[in-house]
Structure 1
Amino acid sequence: MRIECLVASHVRQRPEAVAVRDQQGRALSYAELWRRSGRLAAALNRRGIGRGDIVVIALDRSLELVEAVLGAARSGAAYVLLDPVSPPLRNAHIVADVRAAAIVETAAPAPWRPASDVPRIVLPLDGDDDPDGDDAGSFDAADLAVGDDDLLYVAYTSGSTGRPKGVMASHRAVTHFVADTALVELTPSDTVASLASPASDATTFELWKPLASGSTIVVLPAIAELTVEDWAPLIERSGLSVMFVMPGLLELVAREQPAAFAGLDTLVFGGEALDPGTARRVCEAGKPRRLVLGYGPTETTVFATSFDCTAESIARRDRIPLGTALDGYDLAVLDPGLRAVPSGETGELCIGGRGVADGYLAQPHVSAERFVDHPEFGRIYRSGDLVRRLPSGDLEFVGRLDRQVKIRGYRVELEEVERSVLASGLVISAAVERIESPAAAYLACYFVPLPGAAPENPAVALAAAVATRLPGYMIPARWIPLPQMPRNGIGKIDRAALRGLPSADRAAAEPRP
C-alpha cells in the first residue's frame, strides 16, 4: 500500500481534525492538508514530474514541510529532505546526486539552500504553479501506477567521509514501519512532537507515523532556542503525548530536570548510546509511561529493535540493550563468513525483513557489499554493528566494525572504552578517539564532567577509575575536558570536530610509550 493511502482514510473519517500545528498558533486540519498537498502534487505533475523522479524539499520543520512531503508522495515522485545545518556545498551535492527534478522551498531566503539551476516551486503556491486553485486539491493519484515497491524517499547518511550515501526507502518499507511495527501504538488522540532535523530518518517517525494514525503533529521550536527549564512547560503547553529525542538532548535535560519528560505518554530515544545512569535518573524522577530505546540504521527504515527502560529492566546494567526485533524484522548475529555465531558470542548484526531499504542511490558496488542475499535469512543488511545475544534474548551492542583500532599492537573497541569512562560516574558524556602521533598512536578521551562529581584532577581520577575495568593499553593517554560535546545536525557526537580540537595536544596527561 502507498503511504498516502493511509493518510487518505483519516481525511475521509475526520476531515476537521488537526493534522499539524505549530507554536505560532497556525494549524492545518486533515482536510486542509489534503487540499494543499493535492495542489502541490498537481503542480509537480503539470511540470512533468512524477513516478521515477526525485524532488528536493528545502524546508525546515514547519506546516509547509508536512505539506511538501505529502504532496511529493501523492504526485508519484520520491523526495529528499535537505539538512538546514549542512553546508550549502553538501546540499548542492545531494541536489546533483539525485538529479533533482524540482526544489520545493518558501520565498524566505535561507543560506543553506544550494545554488542550482533546478526549477523551483515556492510555497504557498500561486500563479503558474496553481492555476486551478482549490480545485486542484481534489487531485487523485490513483492513475499514476505507483506501487508498493516504488521509491518514496532518499535519506542521506550523516557523518560519513567521502561521498555520502543516499539510502532508498520504498513505500513498502515505510508503510510497514508506520503501520505494522508496535514500537509505539498511536491513536487519533495522540500528539507527536516534530523536533528532529528534516534530513534525519526520525522524520519518518515524526511525520508519517502520526499522519498514518490520524494523530496530530506538533512542530516544536529549535532545540537551540530552548533552555533546560523550558522542556516541562513546553510539553504541557503543547499537549504532547509522544516524542523522539537524541540521547545527547536527553542527557542534557535529565542532568538538571530529570522529570521534564514525565508528562509524556511515550519518550523514544535512539541514534547513539545512552548512559544507563541517565535513564535511571529519568525513571527515578517519574518517567513517562514508556521510556523506549529504538535502534535501527537508516538502511532498515528508522527502527528495527526496541527495549523498554524501567527501573527494573536497567538496574545494575552498564549499558542499555538494543532489545528484540520489531514485528516484520529478522535479526541475525553472524561472523565474517556470514555464519551464525553461538548465543553470547560477538558477531555482526545483520537485519532482514520488510523494512530493509532498496540499497544506495547510484552506488551499486557499495550496495552489493552491504545488502546481501543470505541462504538462510534471505536479503539482509550488514549493519557493521557488533552485538551479542544475552540469555534474555535481548541484543547488546558491543561496538562498530569500523571503530575497532590498533593500539600498541592490540585491538581496541572504542565503544568499550567509552562505556568504562561513563561507568565511572564522573562524566555526563564521553567520546574516545585514536590520535595519530609521530611517536605512536594513542587514545584520547573527550569528556564533559559531571558537575559536583568531578575531582580536582579529573584526568587522574578518570584514568584510575577506568584502570579498574580495562587493561593498560585501553586506558586513554590524554583526557580533554569540554563544556559540552560538539554535535552534528541530527544530534550525534561530531567526531570529526573532536579530532580537530587543538586542545588534544595540550591535555593533562602525556601519552604513554
Structure 2
Amino acid sequence: MSVSHLQDLLAASVDRHGDRTAIVGADESMTYGELDGAVNRIAHVLLSHGLTPGARVGVLAEKSPWTIAALIGTLRAGGAYVPVDPAGPASRVARIVGAAEPEVVLVDAASRPLLDEVLAELPEPPVVGALDAQEEVAFSRGDLLVAPTDAPGAAPTDLAHLLFTSGSTGVPKGVMITHDTVLAFVDWAVRHFGTAAGDRVSGHPPLHFDLSTFDIYATLSAGAELHLVPPSLGIDPRGTAAFIRDRALTQWFSVPSVLTYLARFEAVAQDDFPALERLLWCGEVLPTPVLAHWMRKLPHVRFTNLYGPTEATIASSYHDVPEVPADETVPVPIGRACDGEELRVLDEAMAPVPAGEVGDLWIGGAGLSPGYWRDPEKTAAAFRPDASGERLYRTGDLARVDDAGVVHFLGRADSQVKSRGYRIELGEIEAALATVPGIRECAVVGVDTGGFEGTTICCAYSVAEGHVLPATDVRRQVGALVPKYMVPARWAEMDDLPHNVNGKIDRPALREHFAPVGAATGGR
C-alpha cells in the first residue's frame, strides 16, 4: 500500500505481520493486529466525539503499548498529537496544554492527579478522555472496531505532532513536526540500518522526546518489535544492561549519558549482549573514551553517532564509527548528512567557510520543521533563506568541515546546553529562579564537569537583604516550576555575582567557579 502518513506504516505492517509482536511493555504486549485494533477504537471514539480535522490531542500518559496506540489513533482520526511529560511539574504542563489548545486530552490513571492540577490552572479546560478508566470520554480495550471510514484526509505536509522544547523566555516552544519529515528520516534509517521484521528495538526515550519518534515509526515500518524501556531503569545501570540482555535486543538507541553511566558502573561484560547488532546515540556528545570502552566490550556491534535538533526531525547526519578510536582525545564526528538532508557550515553572512574553519552549523532539506507553533517571529529568526532562497535552520551549534567533507561538532554558540540528552535553555531556568521570593540576582551556566550527564547545570545566586535562602529551599521551589532534568545540580550562594566591565553578569567567571580543579572551560 502507499505510505504517505505515519499511520500508514502500521496499516502496511498489519497486512504483512498481523500476528507478530509489535510492542512489548512492562506488563503487556500487543501484536500488530491488536495494536491496529486499539488504534481503530481510539480513532472511532475521537471522531464520534467530534474531533475536527487537524485538531490537537494531548496525550498525558506513561509509556505503554496503549499510550502508543493513542498517538497513532489520533493520527488515524485526522488529528495531531501533543505528547506531554507525565513527570513534569503542573505549572509547565499547564503552559504546554494552554499553548497547544487541544480539543481532547487523553490521560492514564497514573497521570490523572497531575492533569487535575493542570485543569485547575486553565480558563477553558479541554475534554478529558481516560485511557484506562471510566471518565468523561472512556476508551475500552474490548470491542475493537474496523478502521474508521469517516476520518478526514490529511496532506503529508500536515501537522503530525507538536513537541515542546525548552524556551529561553521560560515558555516552552512547540516545534511543529509533519508526516513527511518523519517519513523521510524513517525511510533513510530503515534502509541504512537494515531494520527488519526480526529486529527487537529499544524504546528508551520518553514519548515527548523526539528520539522516541524514530523508535516507534522505524519499528512499525519494518514490522519489528518495540521494547519499551521502563523509566526506572534510568538510574539502574545493571538493570538497564539486564534489560538489553534479557530482551535479546538487536538495536539500542539512547542519549550518551546512559552509555556513560553503564560504562562507569562496569555494567557491561566482555562480549555481552550477543543478539545486539546496532548501538546508536543522539542528543549530546558521547565522550570518546566511553565509546572506545563500549567498542572493546562489544566488538560484534555496529556503532553510529546521530546528530540533529528537534527542528530538523530526529536526526540530520550520521557517522558510522569504523573501528575503536586510536586517539581517545579526539571527539567523534557528527559525520555526513542523511539522504535528503543538508549540513552547511556558514559565516555570519551565511556564506560557506573554507574546510577546517569554524562556522555556524545550518541544516536544510527534507527534515525541516515548518517552524514554531503560533510563533512566526521565532520561526522567522531561526529558519532563514539562503541567497538562492533555500530554507535553512540555524542550529546554534559551531562546527567545521574537514577535507573529506565530514562535519565535526564544536559546541554551542549560545546559552542552550544539552544535559542527559535534553536540550535546555538556561534562560528558562533563570526565569523560574526569578520567581523565588528573596532572590536578588541569579545566573545559570552549563559546565562540563566530566559527569555522566554531559553538561552539568550550575546556579549562582545572591539573596536580598532580610531574606535567608538555603540552596535546598531554592532547589525545591525551582523544582516545582521546571522538569527534574532542568533543576541545577550544583549551587552557590554568593554575596555578589561577578560582573564584567559592561555591568553584565560574568558568566565565564561563573563557569570557572564551578569547573573541576584543573579543568578548562570555554564558551560564551
Which residue is 1:373 aligned to? 385
Task: Identify the residue that residue 319 of structure 2 maps to in structure 1.
Answer: 307
Partner of 1:244: 253
SS in 1 for 2:364: strand
Alpha-carbon offset, residue 359 of structure 1 = 0.2
CA RMSD of aligned residues (A): 3.4
Give how far 1:230 is off.
2.4
Q: 2:211 matched to 1:202? A: yes
Tell me the CA shift for residue 228 of structure 1: 2.4
Alignment gaps of 5+ in structure 2: 120-124, 418-444, 463-478, 495-509, 519-524
Whole-Å separation in 2 of the counterparts to 1:141 and 1:313: 54
1:140 offset after TM fit, Å?
A: 3.4
SS at match of 2:257: helix
C-alpha spacing 1:344/1:432, structure 2 compared with 1 (3 Å): farther
Q: Report if the CA contact (8 A) 2:92-2:482 is conserved.
A: no
1:232 pairs with 2:244 = no
Which of the residues 294, 304, 323 maps onto 1:292?
304
Q: Please tell me the residue identity of whatever aligns with 2:198.
A: S
**Which letter maps to 1:246?**
V
Alignment correspondent of 1:477: none
Q: How does 1:41-120 map to 2 (within 5 A)?
A: 41-113=43-115, 114-116=117-119, 117-120=125-128
Please name the residue that 1:454 is paired with: none
1:351 to 340, 353, 363: 363
Letter in 1 for 2:16: Q
Aligned-partner Cα distance in 2 for 1:241–1:507: 39
**In 1, distance between residues paired with 2:133 and 2:321?**
45
Q: Distance in 2 between matches of 1:96 and 1:257?
A: 44
TM-score (norm 1): 0.78
Q: Distance in 2 between matches of 1:132 and 1:81?
A: 21
Q: What per-residue deviation string (whole Å, max 9, x for no partner) do you get for residues 294-342 of structure 1?
A: 1100000011111122434564542111111111101111111111111
Counterpart residue identity of residue 41, structure 2 = R
Partner of 1:173: 181
Q: For 1:326-341, what aligned pairs fall within 5 Å after superposition?
A: 326-341=338-353
Report if the CA contact (8 A) 2:233-2:240 is conserved.
no
CA deviation profile, 1:206-256 (whole Å, cap 9, x unmatched):
211101221111122224476322233321211211121111111110123
Query: What CA distance in whole angstroms lies between the structure 1 residues aligned with 2:483 and 2:226?
Result: 19
Partner of 1:325: 337
CA distances 1:269-294 after superposition (whole Å, capped 9, x unpaired): 12111110100111112245211111
Q: CA deviation at 1:99?
A: 0.7
Alpha carbons of 1:389 and 1:109: their partners in 2 closer, same or farther (altered >3 Å)? closer
Is the 2:252–2:280 contact (alpha carbons within 8 Å) kept by the matching residues of 1?
yes
Structure 1 portions without partners, runs of 5+: 406-413, 439-485
Task: Say which SS state the counterpart of residue 103 (structure 1) adopts.
Answer: strand
SS in structure 1 of the partner of residue 63 of structure 2? coil
Equivalent in 175, 198, 203 of residue 189 of structure 1: 198
* Paired-residue identity, %: 27
Quick check: 1:156 aligned with 2:156? no
Residue 497 in 1 paired to residue 499 in 2? no
Match of residue 395 from structure 2: 383
Is 1:40–1:125's contact at 8 Å kept on the other side of the alignment?
no
CA gap 1:28/1:352 in 2 versus in 1, 3 angstroms: same
What amino acid is the match of 2:160?
L
Establish whether residue 21 from structure 1 lines up as the match of residue 30 from structure 2.
no
Deviation at 1:129, TM superposition (A): 5.0
d(CA) in 2 for partners of 1:392 and 1:222?
40
8 A Cα contact 2:93 2:118, kept in partner: no
Structure 1 counterpart SS, 2:226: strand
SS at match of 1:138: coil
Alignment equivalent of 2:129, drawn from 121, 130, 145: 121
**What's the counterpart of residue 227 of structure 2?**
218
Whole-Å separation in 2 of the counterparts to 1:65 and 1:347: 42
TM norm structure 2: 0.77
Shift of residue 137, structure 1, vs aligned partner: 2.4
Other-structure match for 2:465: none
Separation in 2, partners of 1:83, 1:271:
18
Give me the whole-angstrom Cα distance separating, in 2, the residues matched to 1:165 and 1:429: 23
Q: How many residues align?
A: 446
